[in-house]
Structures are given as C-alpha cells and as structure tokens.
Amino acid sequence: MSDLFESDLSYRGNVPVVHLRGEITSDAEEALFGRYEEIPQEKRSRVVLDFGETRYINSSGIAILIQLITRASDARNRIEFVSLSPHFRKVMDIVGLTDFVQIHENLADALS
C-alpha cells in the first residue's frame, strides 16, 4: 500500500462506505481493489466512495476508478461518489465518470 493513499471501510446501515484519503495514483490500485473485495458480495449492490479527504488524483487513478465502476456494473452493482471537491467534480465531469456514477454532495445526502 502506498504511504500516500489510505482507505477505510465502514457501513452506514447496509450501505458500505469506502473512505478515501490522500492521493489516488497507480500506487493505490491494490489497496482500493482490496478494500472493495472486503465488502461481502451480497452488500455490493450499492457502494459509496467518500472523497472527502482525497487531495490528488492522476490519470492512473482515474483508470482505477473506471475499472472499479466497470467491475461493479458488470455485476449489476453501482458505485456512488460523495464529497467531491469542486476540482475533483470538474475532473470527473471532463472524463465522463459522472455519466456512470451518482454524485452526492456529502454522505448524509447519499444516505437520505
């Protein structure tokens, strides 16, 4: 795992929330996919990624998110994003990820 990326998994009710911290680069791939795999299959129908403490993402990080979204979609599951900074929101819009995930302002909005 990269010293620049960390993640934690929590549950809000039945909804798994992956809290991302630091930098999402190629170094984060193993840790992020590993965290996703920790979620029991029966609880993956909806997974929320919390970007509240994420400070950087590069093209490799975008590719990792695309792979994760594709993996979830292939299994008829969905990924949702919360707490994107204005810059991250713009990046997600530019690369088209907002066409494939639901975006929420914050975790409370996602869970309401």
C-beta separation of 31 from 2 below 8 A: yes
The whole-number pLDDT of residue 1 equals 45
C-beta separation of 59 from 88 below 8 A: no
Whether the per-residue pLDDT at 3 is higher than 90: the answer is no
- The pair of three-digit structure tokens given for residue 75, joined into one six-digit string: 């299994």
Tell me the whole-structure pTM to 2 decimals. Answer: 0.94
C-beta separation of 87 from 55 below 8 A: no
- The amino acid occupying position 50 is D
Whether the per-residue pLDDT at 18 is higher than 70: the answer is yes
Whether the per-residue pLDDT at 56 is higher than 50: the answer is yes
- The amino acid occupying position 106 is N
Whether the per-residue pLDDT at 2 is higher than 60: the answer is no
CA dist 108 and 106 (Å) reads 6
CATH superfamily, domain at 5-111: STAS domain (3.30.750.24)
Would you give the DSSP letter of residue 87?
H
